[in-house]
Amino acid sequence: MPWISACSTDDIDAEDLIRWDHGAQTFAIYHSPDGQFYATAGRCTHEDVHLCDGLVMGHLIECPKHNGQFDYRTGEAKRAPVCVNLRTFPVKVEAGQVYVEVP
């Protein structure tokens, strides 16, 4: 599966996320408070809402629609009403660029 350059490390504030679209797919890319980068599917598993307007708190992303939460490192659903885990994707950083291994 190819590694695709998604953004620069400066594009995302620490403890925040951005939306990244690639082809027909949409992703959420996170910059954790400890300086790491992560990627998940862009849309919540509860309803069809993008997570990019949500709130990152530590290693959790809270969905903007009903406040469901996921651990964005593992995709694990952490707070109702989300019950289904979020898909995650491998990420690497090289020369200030964030790469996502897209399926």
- Contacts with ligand FES, 11-30, as mask; x by CB under 6 A: --------------------
Respond yes or no on whether the N-terminal peptide bond of residue 81 is cis (omega within 30° of 0). yes
d(CA 78, CA 58): 13
Q: Which does 69 bind (CB under 5 to 8 A by kind): other proteins, ligand FES, none?
A: other proteins
Q: How far is the CB of 31 from other proteins (least distance, A)?
A: 13
The b/e string for 75-96 (b: 16+ C-beta within 10 A; e otherwise) is bebeeeebeebbebbebeeeee
Which residues partner with 40 through β-bridges?
Answer: 28, 88
Q: Which does 44 bind (CB under 5 to 8 A by kind): other proteins, ligand FES, none?
A: ligand FES
Q: Which does 83 bind (CB under 5 to 8 A by kind): other proteins, ligand FES, none?
A: other proteins
CA Rg, the chain, in Å?
12
Of residues 48-67, those binding ligand FES (CB under 6 A): 49, 63, 65-66
Site residues (vs ligand FES, CB under 6 A): 44, 46-47, 49, 63, 65-66, 68, 81-82
